Amino acid sequence: MARKRSGAWSAGITGAALGIAAGTALGAYVLAPEGGIEWGGAQAAEERDAAIVERDSANTRADAANSVVEDLAAQVVDGSLSDVPALLVTTPDADSGAVDAMEQLLRDAGSPEISRMGLTEKFRSAEGADELKDVVTTALPAGTELDVERRDPGFQAGQALSPVLLVGDGATERANAADRRLLLGSLRDAGFIEYEDGTLRPTAAIVLVTGSGKGEGEDPTVGSRILADFAEALSPDGTVVVAGGPEADRDGGVIEVLENSGTAGAVRTQAAIGDPAGRVGVVRAIVEGKGGEASAEEAPTEEAPTEEAPAEEAPAAE
């Protein structure tokens, strides 16, 4: 039986070994950024060759460190998310292998229930922005108010979905089943989100998994900004973690946008979701976001709304 730790993140030699390995693995991204090394014509050949050798050495060390982290990861996170149900929100450019691995580590951490919801390309597109705002305002849960100063589509979507997807203090339900069905069903019918019927219940933590976070079209960074606004509004109390690849932290990626925003630090981020060390970092971010507690009260166990139980006010179904 897995040993449940109470209030502890890691202990003894396991924690120390993880710290060393994770530092080595994540440090390699500084020495060996994805995409290789580019040089101007005037760069000396010997400096280029030396940098390539250092990059290859860093990659070797990172591979070795990740092997250590992978072996220790389940032991380190064991019980740290006991009774904390989680939701994985994915974007079209999220790596499916990284998503599956993240789900497994959340289970290793003790999360009793993990569900998934996908954001479509339309959700983070400039073309869908006005329609997204229209859907959100039309199906807004009772008692939810949108910030009149922030009319960005991603921000409004996050404000509307926050009471639908996340529990409140004491694991209390913040939106009733009919309101959840209406908003989620409306967004799915309009092509903004994807999920399986009967799988979405109010949860205690959300991990938004992406690649770079950028969208398509003439200005791909529009997608990053929509995602950043969405994550910021979805949870102002630290229960949302944005996890992407290294590309999310440069060239207009969603993590770079978040870190350069006026509310930098409001959303926890991790730019190495494809590696064991990065995924452990996501679990740690959730724990820290909950004040360091190893567990939270259970979320409501009410059955998730399905199409067989439509809202009285509208036929839209979750």
Helices (H), the chain: 12-31, 45-77, 96-108, 129-138, 153-165, 177-189, 221-234, 254-259, 276-289
Checking if the pLDDT of 2 tops 50, the result is no
b or e along 228-251 (b: 16 or more beta carbons within 10 Å of the residue's beta carbon)? Answer: bbbbbbbbeebbbbbbbbbbbbee
What percent of the chain has a predicted confidence (pLDDT) above 90? 56
Comparing C-alpha atoms, which of 287, 93, 304, 51 is closest to residue 209? 93
172 contacts: CB under 8 Å, gap ≥ 6: 300
CB-CB contact of 99 with 114 (8 Å): no
Give the C-alpha separation, 137 to 59, whole Å: 48
Q: What is the mean pLDDT of residues 167-179?
A: 87
pLDDT 10s digits, 175-189: 999 999 999 999 999
Give the C-alpha separation, 20 to 69, whole Å: 9
pLDDT 10s digits, 86-136: 999 999 999 999 999 999 999 999 999 999 999 999 999 999 999 999 999
Checking if the pLDDT of 305 tops 50, the result is yes
Give the C-alpha separation, 192 to 221, whole Å: 18
Kind and range of the H or E element at 270? Answer: strand 268-270
Comparing C-alpha atoms, which of 166, 145, 146, 164 is closest to residue 154? 146
Give the C-alpha separation, 120 to 116, whole Å: 13
CA-to-CA separations, 162 to 130, 261, 270, in angstroms, rounded: 20, 21, 21
Q: What is the mean pLDDT of residues 258-277?
A: 89
What is the reported pLDDT for 38? 53
Question: Where residue 215 falls among pLDDT bands split at 50, 70, 90?
Answer: confident
Query: Using H for helix, E for strand and C for coil, what is the string for 93-120?
Result: CCCHHHHHHHHHHHHHCCCCCEEEEEEC
pLDDT 10s digits, 44-79: 777 777 777 777 666 666 666 666 667 788 888 999
Q: Apex CA 68: angle with CA 52 and CA 87, to 5°? A: 100
pLDDT 10s digits, 8-36: 444 433 444 445 455 555 554 444 455 55
3-class DSSP assignment, residue 205: strand
What is the reported pLDDT for 45? 73
3-class DSSP assignment, residue 247: helix
